[in-house]
Amino acid sequence: MKKILILTAGFGEGHNAAARNLREALELISEDVQVEVLDLFASSYGSLNDLARTAYQGMVQYVPKLWGGLYSLIDNSTFVEQRLGGFSRLKEALGDILQVTQPDCVISTYPVYAHIIQELYRDHAERPFFFMTVVTDSITVNSAWFSAPSDLYCVANEATANVLKAAGIPGDQIRPLGFPVSHRFAGESPEPLHSPVFGRERRLLYVIHTGKKKSGKVIENLMEIPDTHLTVTVGRDAELKTKILDRTREYGNRVRVLGWTNEMPELLMNHHLVIGKAGAAIVQEAIAARCPMIVNQVIPGHEEGNARLLTEFGLGAVAERNREVPDLVREAFEHKAKIWTEWRRNLGRISRPDAALRLAELVLEHAEAPDPTRKSIQLFSTPPVAPVARPVPAAAAVAGHPEPRRLLCDFHIHTNYSDGKLTVPEVVDFYGRLGFDCICITDHLADPRRLIGKLARLSNMTVSETQLTEYFAVIERERRRAWRKYGMLVMTGIEFNKDGYTQKTSAHLLGIDLKAPIDSTLDLPETIAQIHAQGGLAIASHPHIMKSEWGKNTLHLWENQDTYAPLIDAWEIANRNNIFDCVGMKALPFLANSDFHKPKHIYSWKTLLYCEKTPESIKECIRRNEHVSITLFRPEHHQAPVIAPRGRPALTAAEAAEFTPQPALEVVHG
Ligand code: ZN
Ligand code: ZN
């Protein structure tokens, strides 16, 4: 088993995207690899980092020029070196992690780590692992990336390789493999200009970022260009989405407005042109998708190189002002799309859609199997916190011989498809590392005909009907990864929000282990019938009086037990910290869930099942409601171990809290 540690930082998208894509590629091409992505800025500095991030976003939004100056200051190597004293917590944390995990290979996607590693191993002849830097900047590369040593430098292109060479880095240490975009770009051809499917349609993708409020006029001008079809993504800005929806209604299906999306690779592959800001991730993804780009915003400093990449290699254009974008689009498609065709041809030459896979191969080549005679180097006098022994069987062993055992489960979890804080992959890693056996992701789907449904749609708190296919596809992808990596079952679910004017007409219903979307406008009995038709479970969510962040209590199912008790598979006897003892008194089948929206909600009631670890056994166990108990999930001790037991990936310090679930309350049923 090769152990690979990828270090990233949440400042700006490029670093995280590179880290995530590289991990996915490594896990795709090798079974014999354990990959961890760690953001030490997030885990060492906690709320301070949140503060920095907010400040960063604020600055980017309102004073891009000021940020340009700060960026060059922060990433200036002497500044970094002088500040290392102030990074002592970071240094200590990384030292602990390296010492206990003994990785075979460490990869950095953020320049500061090379300096910290240099500091850590200052007195030793060599590092006990292979160290590689993935440079996420292009062309304008700050010296901080290479002023501390790495064994190898991976860069996005030859032009960037030349910058490093000019700075004295030996050529054999530089690999221009491309920026590690998602492996989903590899193996597919982009959309031709005139395809049998789309005919004369020119499909433009307009990626609007927060702070770009004046996009309405640009959209109107774009729509004047004949044959233009537009997809607009607005991120999580619900107000902006509503505004653009209103403004584009007249164009009918020529304009599609999306909120936050996980499917950027697919969108770039089936559009002819993308309009957006010069962020590292989007520019590199556009190149990988061979989708020409028109940049409408360049933040001075780290984004300038990305914009120059487009203009110098003829891959698109840079608009001085946003309102020039429609003219640039028009010109690109004039004269039988002469300019566009040229861009597409140039993209074909520079595009490296399989960069992440090739980088992953390179990493595996250099990550030697651990040498048993290798001595661990003592970096600090204080020993790290001892790992807690709670062995988790490997997925394969569980799959081979399913035997009844106690399973730790949570069937009520929200992600940022609705109002949760974490993405689906983040939820999977969070629960996987804590040793859960089965989880179900249940984002809110509101009935648009109901009052609250309308409000909820406005505030972006529910998954939109148009995004349901994507929601199912993303969870399916993560289901496979969760099983491979953690031996954890992941189910797809939906929380159907049927909110009325009063609490007696409001109900929340969980559909567990669904195979396909269900129409949000169906009434409750019909929704339950559809859930059952898919082999899923219908669960009454928080059925009684409680403190709710959603406002109103949801008593409809409880008040109409005569109708619903025969239809519903189980009722939440506990939801987060609320206990509904009435469910027990009525002897209804029960389970307990977090109603998870953010990491701190993990400290809450959970279900323990005693059955085989398969979706069918788990559902049957809940239906029969035998061997079901609930437990109040609490950290065993608050000293957070950074390292997990053997066979389980490490937790970041912020997440790390080891739990030993024990049935706190056994309810014997029947
Ligand atoms: Zn709810
Ligand atoms: Zn919920």
Task: Output the CA 486–ligand 2 centroid distance in Å.
Answer: 24
Q: Which residues contact 162 (CB under 8 A, 6 or more apart)?
A: none
Q: How far lies 429's CA from each of 157, 345, 363, 484, in Å?
A: 32, 40, 22, 12
Question: Could you read off the pLDDT of 615-644 as tens digits, one per residue?
Answer: 999 999 999 999 999 999 875 532 333 333
Task: Output the CA 595–ligand 2 centroid distance in Å.
Answer: 5
Q: Is the pLDDT of residue 669 over 50?
A: no
Domain boundary among 284, 317, 350: 350
Question: Could you read off the pLDDT of 208-245 as tens digits, one per residue?
Answer: 876 656 788 899 999 999 899 999 998 877 788 888 88
Q: 136 lies in a domain?
A: yes
For 72, counting Cβ atoms within 10 Å of its Cβ (0-12 exposed, 13-18 middle, 19+ buried), the class is middle
Q: Enter the DSSP assignment of 192.
A: P
Query: Between 194 and 658, where is the model more confident?
Result: 194
SS (H, E, C) 488-524: CEEEEEEEEEECCCCHHHCEEEEEECCCCCCCCCCCH
Mean local confidence (pLDDT), 398-404:
59
Residue 438 and residue 481: Cα distance in Å, rounded? 13
Ligand nearest the Cα of residue 420 is: 2
Tokens 């449904």 sit on residue: 453
For residue 648, which amino acid is it?
R
Task: Output the CA 5–ligand 2 centroid distance in Å.
Answer: 34
Question: Could you read off the pLDDT of 527-536 as tens digits, one per residue?
Answer: 999 999 999 9
User: 253 with 278, same domain?
Assistant: yes
Query: Between 71 and 156, where is the model more confident?
Result: 156
Among 460, 452, 447, smallest CA distance to 420 is for 460
Q: Is the pLDDT of residue 59 over 70?
A: no
Residue 355 and residue 251: Cα distance in Å, rounded? 38
CATH number at residue 308: 3.40.50.2000
Task: Output the CA 551–ligand 2 centroid distance in Å.
Answer: 12
CA 35 to chain centre: 16
Average per-residue pLDDT for the chain:
81
**Do strands 489-498 and 507-512 pair parallel, antiparallel, or not at all (unpaired)?**
antiparallel
Task: Output the CA 543–ligand 2 centroid distance in Å.
Answer: 12
Which residues line ion ligand 2, judged by CB < 5 Å?
Answer: 495, 595
- Number of Cβ within a 10 Å radius of residue 127: 16
| Model confidence band, residue 562 (pLDDT cutoffs 50, 70, 90) | very high
Among 12, 126, 23, smallest CA distance to 60 is for 12
For residue 265, which amino acid is it?
P
- Number of Cβ within a 10 Å radius of residue 663: 13
CB 309 within 8 A of CB 157: yes
Residue 7 and residue 546: Cα distance in Å, rounded? 42
| Model confidence band, residue 402 (pLDDT cutoffs 50, 70, 90) | low
Task: Output the CA 477–ligand 1 centroid distance in Å.
Answer: 25
Residue 361: its H or E element: helix 355-366
Q: 387 lies in a domain?
A: no
Task: Output the CA 446–ligand 1 centroid distance in Å.
Answer: 10
Mean local confidence (pLDDT), 44-57:
43
Joined tokens for residue 178: 């491309």
Ligand nearest the Cα of residue 413 is: 2
Joined tokens for residue 222: 């774009």
| Model confidence band, residue 526 (pLDDT cutoffs 50, 70, 90) | very high
Ligand nearest the Cα of residue 418 is: 2
Phi, psi of 332 (to 5 degrees): -60, -35
User: 581 with 636, same domain?
Assistant: yes
User: 173 with 229, same domain?
Assistant: no
Q: 567 lies in a domain?
A: yes
Residue 653 and residue 38: Cα distance in Å, rounded? 10
What's the pTM?
A: 0.66
Question: Could you read off the pLDDT of 453-490 as tens digits, one per residue?
Answer: 556 555 567 888 888 988 999 999 899 889 988 899 99
User: 468 with 323, same domain?
Assistant: no
Among 553, 551, 576, smallest CA distance to 461 is for 551
DSSP 3-state assignment of 636?
coil
Phi, psi of 55 (to 5 degrees): -60, -40
Mean local confidence (pLDDT), 388-410:
60
The per-type count for the chain, helices as H runs and strands as E runs, is: 24, 22
Residue 409: its H or E element: strand 405-413
CATH number at residue 424: 3.20.20.140
Mean local confidence (pLDDT), 51-64:
39
Task: Output the CA 542–ligand 1 centroid distance in Å.
Answer: 7
The predicted structure's pLDDT at residue 10 = 74
Task: Output the CA 235–ligand 2 centroid distance in Å.
Answer: 22
User: 321 with 428, same domain?
Assistant: no
| Model confidence band, residue 127 (pLDDT cutoffs 50, 70, 90) | confident
Ligand nearest the Cα of residue 446 is: 1
Query: Between 83 and 256, where is the model more confident?
Result: 256
Task: Output the CA 445–ligand 1 centroid distance in Å.
Answer: 10
Mean local confidence (pLDDT), 571-596:
95
Least confident span in 36-45, 83-92, 132-141, 269-278: 83-92
The per-residue b/e assignment along 597-617, b for 16 or more CB within 10 angstroms, e otherwise, is beeebbebbbbbbebbbebee
Task: Output the CA 495–ligand 2 centroid distance in Å.
Answer: 6
Which residues line ion ligand 1, judged by CB < 5 Å?
Answer: 508, 541
Task: Output the CA 623–ligand 1 centroid distance in Å.
Answer: 21
- Number of Cβ within a 10 Å radius of residue 640: 16
Q: 522 lies in a domain?
A: yes
User: 224 with 137, same domain?
Assistant: no
User: 138 with 222, same domain?
Assistant: no
Q: 28 lies in a domain?
A: yes
Q: Is the pLDDT of residue 594 over 90?
A: yes
Residue 624 and residue 409: Cα distance in Å, rounded? 16
Mean local confidence (pLDDT), 494-503:
88
The predicted structure's pLDDT at residue 372 = 44
* Phi-psi map region of 587: left, alpha, beta (phi>0 left; psi -120 to 50 alpha): left
For 134, counting Cβ atoms within 10 Å of its Cβ (0-12 exposed, 13-18 middle, 19+ buried), the class is buried
The predicted structure's pLDDT at residue 654 = 43
Question: Could you read off the pLDDT of 248-257 as tens digits, one per residue?
Answer: 999 998 999 8
Q: 393 lies in a domain?
A: no
User: 297 with 442, same domain?
Assistant: no
Task: Output the CA 544–ligand 2 centroid distance in Å.
Answer: 14
Joined tokens for residue 105: 């290979």
User: 559 with 442, same domain?
Assistant: yes
Ligand nearest the Cα of residue 412 is: 2
Q: 324 lies in a domain?
A: yes
Mean local confidence (pLDDT), 359-365:
93
The predicted structure's pLDDT at residue 409 = 97
Task: Output the CA 611–ligand 1 centroid distance in Å.
Answer: 27
Residue 537: its H or E element: strand 537-540
User: 222 with 287, same domain?
Assistant: yes
The predicted structure's pLDDT at residue 389 = 36
User: 297 with 412, same domain?
Assistant: no
User: 57 with 205, same domain?
Assistant: no
Mean local confidence (pLDDT), 644-648:
36
Give me the residues paired with residue 134 across strands: 154
Task: Output the CA 616–ligand 1 centroid distance in Å.
Answer: 25
Q: Looking at the 3D structure of the chain, how many domains does it have?
A: 3
Question: Could you read off the pLDDT of 259-305 as tens digits, one per residue?
Answer: 878 888 889 999 999 999 998 889 999 999 999 999 998 888 778 88
Query: Between 322 and 76, where is the model more confident?
Result: 322
Least confident span in 136-145, 353-362, 384-393: 384-393
Task: Output the CA 459–ligand 2 centroid distance in Å.
Answer: 16
Query: Which range of residues forms the domain containing residue 101?
Result: 2-179+355-366
Q: Over pLDDT 90: what percentage of the chain? A: 47
Q: 662 lies in a domain?
A: no
For residue 431, which amino acid is it?
Y
CB 357 within 8 A of CB 29: yes
Q: Which residues contact 465 (CB under 8 A, 6 or more apart)?
A: 445, 448, 517, 520
